[in-house]
Amino acid sequence: MNETLKPCPFCGGNAMFLTITNKSSQSSVGVMFKIKCMKCRIEFPKSYECEMYMDQDGGIRTGKDERTKAITDWNRRANDETD
Ligand SMILES: [Zn+2]
């Protein structure tokens, strides 16, 4: 993950990943998450998914991973608000 979350477009507070649901199954562990401002508690109105599993060699692999998409969406909104 190269990108980081920009400050909240409304109050300038720090944004964070907020886990909302556990999506684990027998073969994988995953979470649904949102991006939320820690200060004014604004949430981006979309939820995203991140999933990990162990492969046959014992390595940890990432399955569905929407972390970058979530960051991009949040940062785009932050940019829009400042224009
Ligand atoms: Zn805020």
Tell me, what DSSP letter sits at residue 5? P
Beta bridge partners of 47: none
Cα of 24 to ligand 1 centre, how many Å? 30
Phi and psi at residue 39, in whole multiples of 5°?
-90, -60
Residue 31 lies in a domain: yes
Question: Per residue, what are the HEC states of 40-83?
Answer: CCCECCCCEEEEEEECCCCCEEEEEECHHHHHHHHHHHHHHHHC
pLDDT digits (tens, 9 = 90+) for 35-71: 999 999 999 899 999 999 999 999 999 999 999 999 9
Q: Which domain holds residue 54?
A: 15-70
Residue 22 lies in a domain: yes
Residue 27 lies in a domain: yes
Residue 23 lies in a domain: yes
Residue 78 lies in a domain: no
Domains contained in the chain, number: 1
Q: Report pLDDT for 83.
A: 46
Q: Report pLDDT for 49.
A: 97
Cα of 34 to ligand 1 centre, how many Å? 14
Whether the pLDDT of residue 82 is over 80: the answer is: no
67 three-class SS? helix
Q: Report pLDDT for 77.
A: 82
Residue 76 lies in a domain: no
Cα of 15 to ligand 1 centre, how many Å? 7
Residue 44 lies in a domain: yes
